[in-house]
Chains A and B, each alone.
Chain A
Amino acid sequence: MNYFPDEVLEHIFDFVTSQRDRNSVSQVCKPWYKIESSSRQKVFVGNCYAISPERVIERFPGLKSITLKGKPHFADFNLVPPDWGGFVYPWIEAFARNNMGLEELKLKRMIISDECLELISRSFANFKSLVLVSCEGFSTDGLAAIASNCSFLRELDLQENDVEDHRGHWLSCFPDTCTSLVSLNFACLKGDVNLAALERLVARSPNLRSLRLNHAVPLDILQKILMRAPHLVDLGVGSYVHDPDSETYNKLVTALQKCKSVRSLSGFLEAAPQCLSAFHLICPNLTSLNLSYAPGIHGTELRKLIRHCRKLQRLWILDCIGDEGLEVVASTCKDLQEIRVFPSDPFVGNAAVTEVGLVALSSGCPKLHSILYFCQQMTNAALITVAKNRPNFTRFRLCILDPTKPDAVTNQPLDEGFGAIVHSCKGLRRLSMSGRLTDQVFLYIGMYAEQLEMISIAFAGDTDKGMQYLLNGCKKLRKLEIRDCPFGNAALLMDVGKYETMRSLWMSSCNVTLGGCKSLAKKMPMLNVEIINETDQMDISADDRQKAEKMFLYRTLAGRRKDTPEFVWTL
């Protein structure tokens, strides 16, 4: 291979697209490292604080696309105070300063300001794609900047962000010359949009394939849009509270008849069930259906809809579908690969599905490998059955609404059930557990879950042994997040080198002490050990025996971060 000119190697490497594979390529030898680095266009940074933007730029000068993740996962559930961090500005500023030809930016759990959005829009002439997931810090003004200045924008995809809505006319800011849009998702915006501008935008975007509307787009506008965009592949519908008059309804039916390409459907933020029958037309071709924001759709209407969806591969649904509805899914959707069942009323603490629905799915859907399931109760017997039926799970996340509930029939901990899952599902990469769990389940996980990369634990375990089994056993562990478990310093400090092989560790409301964390930080300079201090009683010189309420540690090449707020200490 040493006799090949660089261009040939580069060409060959072009066929290697996954980041992991490219990382492997770059480690073969120095020449390969150089060539791979200079030719890599797509970079994934799982923790924005693990490396500095300057270093990324230096290594990958040809970078065109970057994915950055910021806050720890548990920030989704309000366990991390706002302003903890995850600011993307330094990255964008560095890219702009170094004249990087950035084209695609994907952010998850980060803070991005309007100023930053404007900087993006002005600094990168070929900017094509902006995907923001669970981000915050910006408003529709920032979106207006993107719309106005990014002449070649193909994708603007906003997923579940907290956007300050100024109800500006950001949609009108797309110039008439902008005809390049392929994907537009503004479902998470709370305010009104300029409907006329939306219609015009759709009309001049022949390449538009994905469109997800927010609640402010009514039915009659939807049907007009559909008439203009019959080639849509992915459609997110807004809100329709009232039954449409027959004329609008008929127009909708006509429009949907023309949409032969729709494979993915979502939205229905408020939906009069009577509208649904129009959508039966496109159900037979659907591979992805997300009704998890549609509490208005349940019962017979929902089951009717599902019965038309024989090709479904991905289903996100609320638990008002019930066990009965899940049985319909199991008998209809034989291609189902991923399902997520969310609670429709988390406050009440009553979920409408139980272990029955889970077993039905495992039995009826042979390709099912990824599940997120919020339920009322679970039993070991059910989990053992599921494990037997479905050894192909790669992602298994079970959330019982009462987090320490034991087996609903035997009152035993659910150790055996989850043990069966990890034993049987040899390809399991991600696991979340709940219910009454002792150290035993961790013994099983350590023994059997060889491919496990990410695990989330809450209210589980009895002693340090639990965490020790995990750390000892799971060789491929990358992310570990623990809350409210009786794990302390002995577990934390058992194998400090392990944390350099992982992306991060989160522990909150456990038994680790300030002293334990300090000790860890001292031994492992390549880790940032951060304590989130939410009581004013604790200061850095406080008694080391005090418990560290929230600790987040991660490996990093960038040293301590410079943007920690007052309440975060890097030890």
Chain B
Amino acid sequence: MMEGCLGLLGGGGSSGASTNKSTLSKVEVVETEASSYPVEAELELGLGLSLGGGGCGGGGGGKGKANAWGECGRILTAKDFPSVVSQPHRPNNNNSMPSTCAVGAVSGTKRAADSVSHDQGGSPTAGSQVVGWPPIRAYRMNSLVNQAKAARAEEDKGNGEKDRSNENLKKKICNGNKTNATGNEKGHLGFVKVNMDGAPIGRKVDLNAHACYETLAQALEEMFLRSATRPTTITSIGGEKQQVSKPSKLLDGSSEFELTYEDKEGDWMLVGDVPWGMFLTSVKRLRIMRTSEANGLAPRLHDRNEKQRSKACLAAAASSF
């Protein structure tokens, strides 16, 4: 992802103005493509809500992953997580990528870059794709995001900036579920810690950057489980090849890991059992647990058969899009 983004920015050493111009045109291209999403997303939302999985207007898999839209409504189970083959952990570039993932600003910005081609960059929000840029304190970022969500949930701002309407729509899609589900606190959330069994580094993920379990799971997969590629720097743009050869494993197979969270009462729960908004109000931190250990989460273990059925149902519906 990083490669794509920095390519978009024209690189530091080599190119001059011309690259930036082409950057601009790429940006425009992506914008028009992105604008085609809202319609689909709305339709998906209708399917998703009934399972409490939440709409995925803001996240989703990006252009290359039409399936992801349909899958969004499915409640994640342990099976959704990719199996980790030899190495138990792949902590890589940094922990803030999800945080810079635009909150529905452009759907699947990160994913688009991943799945389509990494020289697209995938987003008009060039600045926001770069980790730790713009250099704003995490506290302030969280605050802005929360305020933006609250404001948009109440009314459409319609500031008149060029791509506002799309974002507003997407943000509404993302927020709609959240405010429906919770309605209470404005979600003064932000980063929560994530640890993975076997990984030395804990990370933080910005829950504000996600509107459904799907994108969160993908982000965590990126963080912990994808092959360790050096984050790209200006100088190494040309050299890096795209990582994650496989599409998201969230959609198939079983995994030796489960995503769990600790709630406000201190209990560990499986992620995905409750509506997204409710999850947000109760989550304190996350843990990617080995399946063997997660068996202890007895009261909350879901009926996998039931989920399978719903999955099939949605997949069928999704395929019609």
- A interface residue numbers (CB < 8 A to B): 74, 76-79, 81-83, 134, 160-162, 164, 188, 190-191, 215, 269-270, 292-293, 295-296, 342-350, 374, 399, 401-406, 411-413, 432, 436, 456, 458-463, 483-486, 509-511, 534-537, 547, 549, 565-567
Interface size on B, residues (CB 8 A): 70
Separation in Å of the B106 CB from the closest CB of chain A? 8
User: Given A270-B150, A293-B143, A461-B12: A348 and B137 within 8 A (CB)?
Assistant: no
- B299 contacts A by Cβ under 8 Å: no
Are A346 and B128 neighbours in the complex by a CB distance under 8 Å? yes
Are B9 and A535 neighbours in the complex by a CB distance under 8 Å? no
Residues of B close to A509: CB separation below 8 A: 231-233
- B218 contacts A by Cβ under 8 Å: no
- B87 contacts A by Cβ under 8 Å: yes
Separation in Å of the A317 CB from the closest CB of chain B? 13
Are A460 and B12 neighbours in the complex by a CB distance under 8 Å? yes
- B interface residue numbers (CB < 8 A to A): 6, 9-13, 16-17, 20-21, 87, 89-96, 99-100, 102-103, 105, 124-128, 130-141, 143-145, 147-148, 150-151, 161, 163-164, 167, 186, 188, 190-191, 193, 200-204, 228, 230-235, 284
Residues of A close to B17: CB separation below 8 A: 406, 411-412
User: Given A190-B188, A402-B126, A406-B17: A347 and B9 within 8 A (CB)?
Assistant: no
Separation in Å of the B285 CB from the closest CB of chain A? 10
Can you name 9 extra interface pairs (CB under 8 A) apart from A295-B151, A348-B164, A399-B134?
A77-B136, A160-B137, A270-B147, A293-B140, A404-B10, A411-B21, A458-B133, A534-B93, A566-B200
Bound: A14/B20 CA distance, A: 58
Separation in Å of the B180 CB from the closest CB of chain A? 19
Q: Can you offer 17 A-B residue contacts whose CB atoms are under 8 A?
A: A78-B95, A81-B95, A81-B203, A162-B139, A346-B136, A347-B145, A349-B127, A349-B128, A406-B17, A432-B135, A436-B16, A486-B233, A509-B233, A535-B90, A537-B228, A549-B93, A565-B201
Separation in Å of the B206 CB from the closest CB of chain A? 9
Residues of A close to B96: CB separation below 8 A: 77-79
Are B148 and A295 neighbours in the complex by a CB distance under 8 Å? yes
Per CB-CB distance, the 9 closest pairs between chain A and chain B, nearest first, are A78-B96, A77-B132, A190-B188, A411-B17, A566-B200, A401-B127, A349-B127, A349-B125, A535-B228
Are A483 and B144 neighbours in the complex by a CB distance under 8 Å? no
Separation in Å of the A364 CB from the closest CB of chain B? 26
User: Given A459-B12, A485-B234: A134 and B139 within 8 A (CB)?
Assistant: yes
Residues of A close to B105: CB separation below 8 A: 347-348
Are B127 and A346 neighbours in the complex by a CB distance under 8 Å? yes
Residues of B close to A162: CB separation below 8 A: 138-139, 190-191
Are A82 and B233 neighbours in the complex by a CB distance under 8 Å? no
Are A77 and B135 neighbours in the complex by a CB distance under 8 Å? yes
Closest to A345 in B: B148
Say which residue of B92, B127, B137, B202 sits within 8 Å of A83 (CB atoms). Answer: B202
Closest to B129 in A: A349
Instruction: Name the residue in B91, B144, B202 with the highest tally of chain A Cβ atoms < 10 Å from its Cβ.
Output: B144
Bound: A486/B6 CA distance, A: 14
Bound: A348/B105 CA distance, A: 6
Residues of B close to A458: CB separation below 8 A: 133, 135
Bound: A486/B147 CA distance, A: 37
Instruction: Name the residue in A74, A399, A534 with the highest tally of chain B Cβ atoms < 10 Å from its Cβ.
Output: A534
User: Given A295-B151, A348-B105, A404-B11: A81 and B99 within 8 A (CB)?
Assistant: no
User: Given A346-B136, A404-B11: A535 and B124 within 8 A (CB)?
Assistant: no
Are B126 and A295 neighbours in the complex by a CB distance under 8 Å? no
Bound: A134/B142 CA distance, A: 13
Closest to A160 in B: B139
Separation in Å of the B156 CB from the closest CB of chain A? 14
Bound: A350/B160 CA distance, A: 12
User: Given A346-B141, A486-B235: A82 and B204 within 8 A (CB)?
Assistant: yes
Are B92 and A535 neighbours in the complex by a CB distance under 8 Å? yes
Are B138 and A76 neighbours in the complex by a CB distance under 8 Å? yes
Are A484 and B234 neighbours in the complex by a CB distance under 8 Å? yes
Decide if the interface of chain A is mainly helix, strand, loop or mixed. Answer: loop
Are A295 and B147 neighbours in the complex by a CB distance under 8 Å? yes
Bound: A547/B239 CA distance, A: 14
Say which residue of B6, B90, B145 sits within 8 Å of A536 (CB atoms). Answer: B90
Are A346 and B134 neighbours in the complex by a CB distance under 8 Å? yes
Residues of A close to B9: CB separation below 8 A: 402-404, 459
Closest to A73 in B: B135
Separation in Å of the A491 CB from the closest CB of chain B? 13
Closest to B145 in A: A347
Are A134 and B94 neighbours in the complex by a CB distance under 8 Å? no
Bound: A535/B131 CA distance, A: 16
Residues of A close to B132: CB separation below 8 A: 74, 77-79, 483
Are B91 and A536 neighbours in the complex by a CB distance under 8 Å? yes
Residues of A close to B126: CB separation below 8 A: 349, 402
Separation in Å of the B190 CB from the closest CB of chain A? 8
Are A293 and B233 neighbours in the complex by a CB distance under 8 Å? no
User: Given A79-B94, A536-B87: A342 and B140 within 8 A (CB)?
Assistant: yes
Are B151 and A347 neighbours in the complex by a CB distance under 8 Å? no
Bound: A81/B128 CA distance, A: 19
Separation in Å of the B205 CB from the closest CB of chain A? 10
Bound: A350/B161 CA distance, A: 8
User: Given A401-B127, A459-B9, A459-B234: A78 and B94 within 8 A (CB)?
Assistant: yes
Are B131 and A78 neighbours in the complex by a CB distance under 8 Å? yes
Are A536 and B167 neighbours in the complex by a CB distance under 8 Å? no
Say which residue of A82, A270, A402, A483 sits within 8 Å of B127 (CB atoms). Answer: A402
Closest to B18 in A: A411
User: Given A404-B9, A462-B12, A485-B234: A534 and B133 within 8 A (CB)?
Assistant: no
Are B20 and A406 neighbours in the complex by a CB distance under 8 Å? yes
User: Given A82-B193, A403-B127: A348 and B167 within 8 A (CB)?
Assistant: yes
User: Given A77-B135, A77-B137, A81-B202: A510 and B233 within 8 A (CB)?
Assistant: yes
Say which residue of A188, A401, A405, A566 sits within 8 Å of B20 (CB atoms). Answer: A405
Say which residue of B138, B186, B234 sits within 8 Å of A78 (CB atoms). Answer: B138
